[in-house]
Amino acid sequence: MTDDPPNLLSEASGLGKDVTGPGGTLTILRDLDIRVAAGEAVAILGTSGSGKSTLLGLLAGLDNPTRGEIRLCGKPLGRLGEDERAALRAGRVGFVFQSFQLLPTLTALENVLLPLELGDIPGAGKRAREALARVGLTDRARHYPHQLSGGEQQRVAIARAFAPGPRILFADEPTGNLDQHTGEHIIELLLTLRRDSGAALVLVTHDRELARSCDRRLVLEAGRLEQAL
C-alpha cells in the first residue's frame, strides 16, 4: 500500500498490559519498546506464561494494551475500530499459530483460498494453488484438516499465511504441537518462504535453536524485553 512507511512495519512504545482476576490486577507486560523493520526476522523468547503470546496479539492488533501505543504498517492501532483493524491486516499481515487454526469444514485448498477471497485479491485460485505447491501439498489440496497429519496441517497454515503476499508475518509457537523432526521441517519451510518473500517475521518461541535462525532475538523476562545474547 502506498501510504505505508517503507521500512518500519511494527512499532510499540511504552507498551503495558494488565489483567484483572480474583486476586487483583496482574501486570503481564510493562513498558515495552519494540521495532520491526521490513524484511527483518525477530524472535521473542521466554518461559511459558511469560506473556509472549499476549505481546504477539497486541502487536498484531488482536488485543488492546492497557498502556502505550502500537503502530502496524504505519497506522496507530489505538485510533482504529475493529473493522478498520481487520481492513489494515487484510493482505498485509499473515498469521501462523501453534494450533493451526484451520477451518474443519474446508479443504486444504479452500483454507488457503479463504483470506484471498475475503481480501478480494486478484487471481485468488491460482495464488492458493501455487501456495500449496510451495509447501509440497498439491496432492492434498482436496483433503480436509482431519485427514491431514499435524505437520501437513501446519504446512497448510503456512501456505494460507503467505498466499496473500503479507508484508509482516506473526508466528506463535509454530512448532509447539509437532514432534522434533516435523518441527525442524516446518522451521526450515517457514524461514525459507520468509526469505523468498521478503516479509518481516515476528516469531514467538521457547526454542532457542529456532530463535538463532532469526536476525534478532529478544527475551521476555518479568514482563520486560531484553536483547538476547
- Tens of pLDDT, residues 130-161: 999 999 999 999 999 999 999 999 999 999 99
Residues paired with residue 170 on neighbouring β-strands, in sequence order: 95, 202
Q: What is the pLDDT of residue 5?
A: 47
Which residues contact residue 207 at a Cβ distance below 8 angstroms, ignoring those fewer than 6 apart? Answer: 175, 183
Which residue, 58, 40, 61, is CA-closest to 201?
A: 40
Q: Is the Cα dihedral 220, 54, 66, 10 positive or negative?
A: positive
Q: What is the pLDDT of residue 160?
A: 96
Q: What is the pLDDT of residue 3?
A: 47
Q: Picking from 5-9, 12-16, 56-60, 97-101, which range would have the lowest pLDDT averaged per residue?
A: 5-9
What span, in angstroms and rounded, lies between the C-alpha atoms of 84 and 96? 21
What span, in angstroms and rounded, lies between the C-alpha atoms of 191 and 91? 19
Q: What is the pLDDT of residue 6?
A: 53
- Tens of pLDDT, residues 24-43: 899 999 999 999 999 999 99
Contact between 168 and 92 under an 8 Å Cβ cutoff? The reply is: yes
Q: What is the pLDDT of residue 102?
A: 96
121 φ/ψ sector (left φ>0, alpha ψ -120 to 50, else beta): beta
User: Is the whole model's pTM more than 0.95, yes or no?
Assistant: no
